[in-house]
A and B are shown apart, each in its own frame.
Chain A
Amino acid sequence: DAGVTQSPTHLIKTRGQHVTLRCSPISGHKSVSWYQQVLGQGPQFIFQYYEKEERGRGNFPDRFSARQFPNYSSELNVNALLLGDSALYLCASTPGVSDYGYTFGSGTRLTVV
């Protein structure tokens, strides 16, 4: 079985632009979460979705948004990019809410110049 897949793996954007990151969970997993990992820090929670509904939101500005599709894949959107948005964006999936087994993807490395 494929693990959690994220695309693209790397991208470079200019300040003020918009970006869309994509995540496909493990087959059968209905919950997807997004995390931001700035260099040298631990991942920070951005969003969790379960059955296409937002279940949780971290302390991020409204420029960050996400959604989950009927096939449980997910998109993370960031508008008006700032230099400080440069980070590794990680997606994680679980079979359902409050399951213990989070599986992470390899992430998307976003660089804002």
Chain B
Amino acid sequence: GNSVTQMEGPVTLSEEAFLTINCTYTATGYPSLFWYVQYPGEGLQLLLKATKADDKGSNKGFEATYRKETTSFHLEKGSVQVSDSAVYFCALRTANRDDKIIFGKGTRLHILP
């Protein structure tokens, strides 16, 4: 079946450090891939997306590239800020009739000043 696996947290970094959060997926067909972010006490916000192989999604300094050969969609940011502290979810969306999003378990990120 379809699934998403992402690195377990929490991840703790100092401000201005480089961030990588690993995400791999299993899916039939050609899913769309997403990163969502959830700040404390809030709902989910779409951070970036990629809809086909080799696409790079980017937003707010975050990037992720859809790698079909390695079934991966790792999230990266060159210089993190304290305000990036949140939970990050990798997700996929299939083109099946039920059109649901499948989420990973989330990675909590703490950025220290």
Contact = CB atoms under 8 A, between A and B. Distances in A.
A56 B51 contact: no
Interface residues of B, number: 25
A41 B46 contact: no
B101 A102 contact: yes
B44 interface: yes
Contact of A48 (B99, B102, B105): B99
Nearest to A107: B43
Interface string A92-113: 1000011011111111000000
A87 B42 CA distance: 13
Interface residues of A, number: 26
A56 B93 contact: no
Contacts of B91: 42
B45 A98 contact: no
A57 B46 contact: no
Most buried by A among B32, B96, B100: B100
Interface of B: 4, 32, 36, 42-46, 49, 51, 89, 91, 93, 95-106
